[in-house]
């Protein structure tokens, strides 16, 4: 009888987070008393169905070792092989972790800058994709009215929002599917794992996510994330 596939998390964290306007890489910005990256990593390490958590870092990164990883144990593994883009970091991480992952295992790629991920989010994703051949992602239907602008910054068209979703993470795919998709993709043009997989002709499943699972992009997002974490009882 074949063994059950493992669930492995991979967090690309090699970027500088230039839109935060700080010399400190975004993943190490302080949030609720600890570096931003610690929140998501600890959530993934605590989840009983996540077997391993790989964090892909820039070569020479010194911030990760200074964080508090007590409680993560052997489940947490840093990989100092980050690339110039998110997709390159994910691909490099998949290659570096190859010996620990089988082709049919699940890889959950999660943004280091999404600190408000919950166990319920992970449970919902795992349940929805348990029997899927490819994988899918957490996402939220678009609720706002969308405007297309011209080069002068003027609204020229209102875009229909039916069937539009905002992609979140984790994005969860079979290892063999994801690494082959990234191998074939134009890495510079890939903005998330699903877009690479879509280019192979298959259709990832959209799994309803949570508005609370926000991505910290600008400095003001830190205050919002802290309020969400307070409501979640993370402090």
Alpha carbon distance 206, 164 (integer Å)? 11
Q: Domains for the chain: give ranges and CATH numbers.
A: 7-140+167-232 (3.90.550.10)
Tens-place pLDDT, residues 51-70: 999 999 999 999 999 999 99
Tokens coding 58: 């820039």
- What are the angstrom distances between the C-alpha of 96 and each of 56, 62, 151? 9, 19, 43
pLDDT-flagged residues of the chain (< 50) = 1, 235
Tokens coding 56: 């892909």
Closest CA to 57 of 36, 21, 27: 27
Tens-place pLDDT, residues 191-232: 999 999 999 999 999 999 999 999 999 999 999 999 999 999
Q: What is the pLDDT of residue 235?
A: 45
């Amino acid at each position: 009888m074949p063994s059950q596939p493992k669930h492995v998390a991979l967090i690309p964290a090699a970027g500088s987070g230039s839109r935060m306007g700080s010399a400190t890489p975004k993943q190490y910005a302080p949030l609720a008393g600890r570096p931003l990256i610690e929140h998501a990593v600890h959530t993934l390490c605590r989840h009983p169905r996540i077997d391993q958590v790989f964090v892909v870092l820039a070569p020479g990164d010194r911030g990760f070792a200074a964080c508090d990883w007590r409680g993560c144990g052997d489940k947490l593994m840093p990989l100092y092989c980050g690339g110039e883009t998110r997709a390159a970091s994910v691909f490099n991480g998949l290659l570096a972790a190859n010996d620990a992952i089988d082709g049919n295992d699940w890889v959950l790629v999660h943004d280091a800058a999404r600190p408000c991920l919950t166990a319920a989010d992970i449970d919902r994703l795992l349940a929805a994709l348990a029997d899927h051949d490819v994988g899918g992602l957490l996402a939220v239907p678009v609720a706002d009215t969308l405007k297309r602008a011209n080069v002068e910054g003027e609204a020229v068209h209102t875009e229909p929002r039916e069937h539009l979703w905002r992609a979140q993470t984790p994005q969860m795919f079979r290892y063999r599917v994801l690494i082959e998709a990234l191998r074939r993709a134009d890495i510079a043009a890939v903005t998330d794992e699903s877009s690479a997989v879509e280019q192979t002709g298959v259709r990832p499943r959209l799994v309803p996510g949570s508005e609370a699972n926000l991505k910290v992009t600008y400095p003001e997002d830190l205050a919002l994330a802290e309020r969400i974490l307070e409501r979640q009882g993370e402090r």
